[in-house]
Amino acid sequence: MNQADFYSLLPLIVLTAWSALLLIADLFIANEKKSITAVLAAAGLAITMGLSLSQTGQVVLGFNGLVILDGFSTFVNTLLLFSGLMAIALAYGYLKRRGIERGEYYSLILFSVVGMMLMAQARDLIIVFIALEMLSIPLYVLAAFDNSNAKSEESGIKYFLLGAFSGGFVVYGIALVFGATGSTALVAIAAAVAEGSADPLLILAGSALILVGFGFKVGAVPFQMWTPDVYEGAPTSVTAFMAAGAKIAGFAALMRVFSTAFPALAADLTPVLAILAAVTMIVGNIAAIAQKNIKRMLAYSSIAHAGYILMAFVAFGNPELTNDAISAGIFYLVAYAITNFGSWAIVISREEENGKGLALEDYAGLGKSNPLMAAAMTIFMLSLTGIPPTLGLIGKLYLFRVVVESGFMWLAMIGILTSLISAYYYLRVIVIMYMKEGEPKTTSEDWLNFTWGAMAVLTVILSFIPARLFAWASEALIK
């Protein structure tokens, strides 16, 4: 391993070593002091984030082109490390309250983040698959972490079966692409397709199967069937991490693979991606209306937002708009991650030790009993809908602009109409909090309060000054 190889994966190497050492250190930490493990895990993520930010603006190929450090990977890795920090903040008091605090929880979060970061840097389909498994296996364990709860065990089994099934599609797709081009390197695949030396039918089938496999991972329709069950059954802190981290990593891999390996197939794939985005937005939003459990409602909301992000992919058919589409997509992922962790922090604050407090009606009276929390939840619901003054609105505007410039006005109209549909179930939460009588119990924990408070402030403040964030996203180019 030469210096370039080491430097290209330096943050991942550091975080992997930290995760392994954390497992060993946890053996010497008493059961009643597992908060030390959480602090050490957060320190590892913070150090890794510093290393990742120090690499901003650099482009380095590693391991003969298998991985790459570029602006895109730096941006995405920073967002993933932020997600890991938020996941630990949400779990810090929640695990104690539920009686499931064990040190390996935090190591599993770190190992999953390593897989997510590798996915953002993968420049070869084999590395993409390895990264997919690295991020997924810890999540299977985390989904079933509350082994005293049958729903949590069911969640783990379903997520494992879903992951195995989607992994099969990805492997089969990679095999077909290799058979068509003789390579799994993204650049070599693109060159073979451009030269016309690749079998067009095989390459199209392979790319479609890879899209299907990642469709399961990001929760796109019609591959979302067990996603709400997994989100509902898993410990809520795990659900929050899956809803953001797995989605960010999945879309990062899709953006790199389809912009680098299959640009010549854009004309064939764009209509499919447009239909997939439209169906995902429609089904996710309509299904969310019928939900009475807030975890299931936010699960279907997550599916709907996968549809919004998929809209960015229709611009890949126009090479002049590809970079704009990627920038709009990752900007929206930032807005979604911030809003996601804030809303889940409040859900965790409302959840009682026995798992109750998750029905929408349990939020009745929150506006009177805890005005600040209700105000924060209002901000998050408005942001998810796309109503000012929130970052969610800015994210949707950037996405819709790219879609319209790509000539898909009908898809932008569906995005707007489904956003109006989503207003029904998001604003319903606000109505219940302020206009229905109740005496909701909330848990006051410092890190939970900090999380939902900070995310609410960011959601509003960044909506007024989005230019710097979007400039960074615009500089996050895929090389």
Q: Which residues contact 286 (CB under 8 A, 6 or more apart)?
A: 421
Q: What pLDDT, in 10s, does the model give residues 86-138?
A: 999 999 888 888 888 888 999 999 999 999 999 999 999 999 999 999 999 99
Domain residue extents for the chain: 263-479
Contact 88, 41 (CB under 8 A): yes
Q: What is the pLDDT of residue 1?
A: 63
Number of H helices, E strands in the chain: 21, 2
End-to-end distance of the chain based on CA atoms, in angstroms? 22
Chain mean pLDDT for the chain: 89
Which pLDDT band, with edges at 50, 70 and 90, does 355 fall under?
Answer: low
The pLDDT of residue 180 is above 80: yes
Q: What is the pLDDT of residue 452?
A: 93
Contact 326, 472 (CB under 8 A): no
Which pLDDT band, with edges at 50, 70 and 90, does 395 fall under?
Answer: very high
Rounded CA-CA distance 450/317 in Å is 42
Which two three-digit tokens encode residue 336?
């979604």
Task: Choose among 330, 361, 332, 363: nearest CA to 346.
Answer: 363
The number of residues in the chain equals 479
In order of 359, 371, 432, the CA distances from 364 in angstroms are 10, 12, 5
Sign of the dihedral defined by the CA atoms of residues 64, 65, 71, 73, in that order: negative
The conformation of residue 243, written as its DSSP 8-state character, comes to I
Put residue 351 in one of left, alpha, beta given phi > 0 → left and psi -120 to 50 → alpha. Answer: beta
Q: What pLDDT, in 10s, does the model give residues 217-269?
A: 888 888 877 788 888 888 999 999 999 998 999 999 999 998 888 877 777 78
In order of 92, 152, 169, 350, 403, the CA distances from 448 in angstroms are 8, 22, 38, 11, 37
Contact 118, 131 (CB under 8 A): yes
Which pLDDT band, with edges at 50, 70 and 90, does 415 fall under?
Answer: very high
Task: Choose among 322, 326, 346, 324: nearest CA to 334.
Answer: 326
% of the chain beyond a pLDDT of 90: 55
